[in-house]
Amino acid sequence: MDPKTAMYIAQGIHGLAYGMILFLIASGLNIIFGMMGILNLAHASFFMLSAYFSYQFLFMTGNFWAALLLAPLTTAFFGILVERFLLRKVHALGHMAELILTIGVSLVVLAAVKIFWGTESLPVKIPPILEGLISIAGMDYPVYRLFVIGLALAVLAAMALLLYKTRLGKIVRAAVSDADMVAALGINTPLVFMLVFGIGTWLAGVAGVAIAPILTVFPGLSDQVGMDAFVVVVTGGLGSLSGAFVVAIIFGLLSSYGVQFFSQLAPVLMFLFMAIVLAIKPTGLFGERE
Amino acid sequence: MTNKVLKWLAWSILVAILAAYPRIFGLYYTNLFVTFAIFALFSVSFNLLLGYTGLLSFGHAMFFGAGGYGTALALKHIPGLPLLPAVFMGLLTGVVLALMLCPLVVRVSGTAFAMLHLAFGELMHVLALKLRSITGGEDGIGGFPIPPLNIPGVLSIDMKSPENFYYFALVCLGVSLWVLWFFTKTPFGQIQIGVRDNSTRIDYLGFKVPQTKAVVYVVSAAFAGVAGSIYALFQNLISSSSLNVLTSFAPITITMVGGVGSFFGPVFGAAIFQIIEELTSRYTEQVELVMGLIMILVIMFAPMGFAGMINLLKQKWVSSRAARIDSKEPS
């Protein structure tokens, strides 16, 4: 194996891992948007919050797996609080109000994070089993990146099962297409909405824990990764999970190969891609609704 | 006293207060007022898109920044350029940028419009960072000469004095606000509101929706460019931070807090934000926290913003007065 191919493959793995993390965040955003019609601008903040929680739990328990379990759940709890006590009250006022409210929440989260954890970047250590490289067919792969890809695929599978094989999933899918009708059938849609918001923030939370060891935890995390996730959702089509998946993978590869080949242009490649897609198809690659 | 006299009286008192402002409050608050004026104009130009045409942009900062860079580059490279042409250069840069984006963005609306602007805004930001030889990268362009305001044969006012600059900024803001106010009151302004409320019907009535959007877009960009240009002159510096997302979010929140449905809402909003920022930065470092909380509280309890609140109070006052008059009349 010549080193050049090895490097390309390594970059590809990095790109895939980043794409998977983007997809986790984007799918959370997408579920919330598809269900409730809310473009949740605070989503990236929950993602960052979860990264901080994972640092905190790791600090307290010393166990990465406990952090992986607890941090997303705590984040989802905060997400549910926000939905129940803030978003629900302004839902009647329309999308603009919800956008502003979520910007407000994201600012508060950013400030809170800075108050509690300071502004310097905090390292998150991964357990020894995920460290180092693994050798498959004469090639070395970083274990943690493979773990992230596997984790994302597992979460994706669980979500697909939940959405397509359970009664709850049926209700959720029905509410996506017509929430009023579902409510008329006697189903407590506010409760379902709350649950969906919780699941959405939980997905962002999983992504937050997954990225913490790669990028470390710092207050700019929500801007850096969150913006990418928004671009993914919009380019893939709002509310479309398959669109988000395809575009997240493209963007992940674009960002890792982009840095290698056109380092000058790398930060704008995604935005260029999005501008081209939206100019041709304003609803996004797979999107049906505005 | 008739209504008209009252109105003139109110206006002249306002002008007198504004004229005396630098002498009463001193240098620090004069500069604060100039910042307020810049952001008020920026937000009013933004509200032309959001409030009047129903287009939410997440990248309005690019016109603000473009105006600033236009003026700064012109003053740096053209020796002896007078002040007003320099400001005009800022306006022109905004217009040219808007004209370039126009064919693309007027065909979309809603979320796609917002996100396209996010994309282009970020593109401009990165370009400003990368084209170091032109824009100076992170440091931006600073220390360019600030020419005096010259009206040949009549007078020449030195713009380096903060007090003179205050008057200049005030006049620029006033004139721009007046032009924009006039713009929204023309028949064309009515079409614009029609596009917001029901673009299909406007199309059926025979008006051209994309072209209408394009004109509004260019006008909005032009005045955002003026705001950016004055900002560059005021700071004697324009840097890439004037193009970032936070600068794009500023007019959104200002407009929401001030009131979307009203022309002067963003002016109130800019004033409120300036006051809050001033007060909070004196007592606490947590400006973001306070801003976020204010946004949440405003949306929860006063969703129409400050202007909406004033209207509500006015209605209450009028109806209670009417009730009093009714009860006085013998029945």
Mean pLDDT per block of 10 residues along chain B (331 residues) reads 82 84 80 90 91 86 92 87 87 93 81 79 83 80 79 70 84 89 89 87 89 92 93 88 83 84 86 84 75 82 78 84 74 50
Residue A81 pLDDT class (50, 70, 90 cuts): very high
pLDDT score for A139: 66
Mean pLDDT of the region A216-239: 82
Does B122 sit within 8 Å of A227, measured CB to CB? Answer: yes
Complex confidence, ipTM: 0.78
The total of other beta-carbon atoms located within 10 Å of residue A126's CB is 15
Tell me the two tokens of residue B268: 């109130």
Report how many domains make up chain A. Answer: 1
A3 within domain boundaries: no
> In which element (H, E) is residue B142 found?
strand B141-142
Does B289 sit within 8 Å of A111, measured CB to CB? Answer: yes
pLDDT in tens, A129-155: 777 666 666 666 778 888 888 998 998
B245 and chain A: CB distance < 8 Å anywhere? yes
Q: What residues have CB less than 8 Å from B120, skipping those under 6 apart?
A: A271, A275, B59, B62, B101
Largest CA distance in chain B: 82
Q: What's the domain range around A89?
A: 14-280
pLDDT in tens, A19-44: 999 999 998 888 888 777 777 888 98
First to last CA, chain B: 29
Q: What residues have CB less than 8 Å from B251, skipping those under 6 apart?
A: B39, B42, B43, B45, B46, B47, B60, B266
> In which element (H, E) is residue B156 found?
strand B155-157
Please provide the size of chain B in residues. 331
A255 within domain boundaries: yes
Window 166-225 of A: residues touching B by CB (8 A cutoff) are: 223
More confident residue, A87 or A141: A87
| Helices (H) then strands (E): counts for chain B | 14, 4
pLDDT score for A215: 84
Query: Which of B119, B256, B291 minimises the CB distance to A107?
Result: B291
What's the pTM?
0.80
The total of other beta-carbon atoms located within 10 Å of residue B156's CB is 12
B300 and chain A: CB distance < 8 Å anywhere? yes
Best B102, B244, B285, B296 member to test A by mutation, with max A CBs in 10 Å, is: B296
A230 and chain B: CB distance < 8 Å anywhere? yes
What topology is assigned to B21-328 in CATH? ABC transporter involved in vitamin B12 uptake, BtuC (1.10.3470)
Q: Which residue of B has its CA nearest to A269?
A: B123
Q: Which residue of B has its CA nearest to A237?
A: B112
> In which element (H, E) is residue A228 found?
helix A221-236
Tell me the two tokens of residue A147: 């773990």
A1 within domain boundaries: no
A57 within domain boundaries: yes
- Yes or no: say if B42 and B274 are a contact pair by the CB < 8 Å rule: no
Query: Which of B116, B253, B289 minimises the CB distance to A108?
Result: B289
A90 and chain B: CB distance < 8 Å anywhere? yes
Does B108 sit within 8 Å of A282, measured CB to CB? Answer: yes
Please list every residue in chain A whose beta carbon sits closer than 8 Å to the beta carbon of residue B127.
268
pLDDT score for A289: 55
Tell me the two tokens of residue B219: 């006008």
Q: Which residue of B has its CA nearest to A230?
A: B115
A89 within domain boundaries: yes
CA distance to A73, B105, B109, B191, per residue, from B211 (Å): 50, 11, 14, 11
Coil/strand/helix, residue B44: helix
Provide the shortest C-alpha distance from residue A119 to chain B (in Å). Answer: 13
Whether residue A170 has pLDDT greater than 60: yes
Query: Which of B56, B111, B299 minimises the CB distance to A97?
Result: B299
Provide the shortest C-alpha distance from residue B280 to chain A (in Å). Answer: 14
Best B133, B291, B299 member to test A by mutation, with max A CBs in 10 Å, is: B299
Alpha-carbon dihedral sign for residues B19, B23, B28, B29: negative
Amino acid at B184: T
Best B288, B297, B298 member to test A by mutation, with max A CBs in 10 Å, is: B288
Please list every residue in chain A whose beta carbon sits closer than 8 Å to the beta carbon of residue B110.
290
